[in-house]
Structure 1
């Protein structure tokens, strides 16, 4: 049975932003590929779920947060172009990042070596630091909210939405479901968040990038969230082999349960990261976009549909939108109190990653080198012989 068609497809919000195709759906919103008809450019349009659009408190906070984020300028942040409410539909117009999410890249390639982790975390922390300096907190730092373009740009998306939803008069278990693995202890215990909360979430995300898994587990999102109240995030090097101690120290400080013991903000954590990368002499690295992503699949289908003749849909009742929550994270190892570094024999090796792929060795290289050397020597002898013959002929 085919799902009902999306009633928003083809609609123009405020007569300016045409919705062309769905990219992703979550518990709070849906993201669409769209076009700014006035400027003639492709955009991403985030449409909030209808239960939020009817809440005046949410709409006020949504507008305030959108205006604040639109004023931020940093290459590590997804640009916000516009926001509005059209016939009860609250929407946000953003820069379209053609590529995919960090979550999709992790699923495709697995855990990252330190130089790739540094290449991801540097722009993310720069973007977070810019927002923190302006008094803004993300509250939902996780791989799903980090986008990677085909040009290797890394950008943070969805600033301010969690705060707007949290202050709305609508209970949303999906907010906890989507962030349970990355929430800071103070967010779980009291719902409070500041720049150091984003730092904690960033530390958890770095742990996952290095090891391929999140540090805690639980039978329910709530149980998963509460694990961090009793347990520390372990050092990545205590879980898998090959993690530099400098990166362990960054993750451990970022995920201290006491916010006062963490880095003060994104800029502070970024300085520590860059110092570690410099000390380790890590090579520069361009983060690849995932080969398969929701955004890429949407673009391909949309272009294919536009290339085919359009067949009008049969008449019928107006379809309704279908919402689905994010996928449940895979099971991970149970948390343990932060131990001293175990001997190497007790640790597992870092899982295989396609980031570590090396080119196949060229077994024929020595043979080809010998052939070329012989050819050059013969050519030199021939040239010398011709030169000698010409000289002798001229002198005689």
Structure 2
């Protein structure tokens, strides 16, 4: 155990050190108080064992991988694993080319909690290595040429078409996303993540590197967490812009809490998550612990609900993840039809976007986020991408939905605009 005087300085020093390896994962709660988070941050670096899968049996392969090692395991699930769960396909363009699933058992693992650093895997000497590691300040001068995959007019046309599907009764709600991208992009991933994490600190933020692939995430959303035999999901549906004026900001917060449209969006997804959890739950144990909770982040207020259940002892925890994937907040209701329409109307393959990354501990407890508000980067092809979206219901205003997308993208646009 070692007391760290300067938490922020140590955090980024450690990340710079970890980034020298082919593989690393950094999970940062940004010291948000949360009932289920175990650490302020976890940093896993290098690998003893790894699993990379884009087969038809990725979840089974992960189950075998975890059972073989029963050790701290870090990794991600790509959105297109949906094709292994349902009769679906993904044929849209993909500039990033992430694997569908990747997990690794780290060689080094550092945990930080309440001012104390602990080396969970590896030798304590790595703390000295981190302290002595030269900071790499690579600020790329190359200007990013960010483009929108859709114009505002094209976006609005697609929303109008989706609303026709809703009026016909095909779906009640759908999460529709659009991509912003840059080709020939050169960024310094650690420096870019640091800028994003400082501008928009969130409770499920993180940095994931697998060789040429990077996830730089400022996500505020938890997908699924397991503590003991309890599963917890916390979908976000409902967004309002912050105001610099404290009185107005409070009024906006109150208005979001009582907004009928936002409540309708949120409750539809709560019902969907409840349904998904019943597949893994002890009968009668699914409950809504908090409905329409309002949580404040630097750029936005968000409406978040918490749903939990007791995990059926006959259900493997990885099957419980599969039973709820992809998350309801990023698909819609009914889920399968919403995913079919997402494939039809979106221009870009989601890939790792609206997937999830996180960790599993040696006891089989886990915590996974939702990959939103995230910069995705392939350093080999120099392709950079981020996507934003929102819940489309019959009542929604397409122009306002477009503006909400830009609000959600604002922190990333500001960070990337510095290039």
TM value normalised by structure 2: 0.23
Higher radius of gyration, 1 or 2: 1
Larger helix percent: 1
Question: Greater share of strand residues, 1 or 2?
Answer: 2
Return the TM-score normalized by structure 1.
0.24
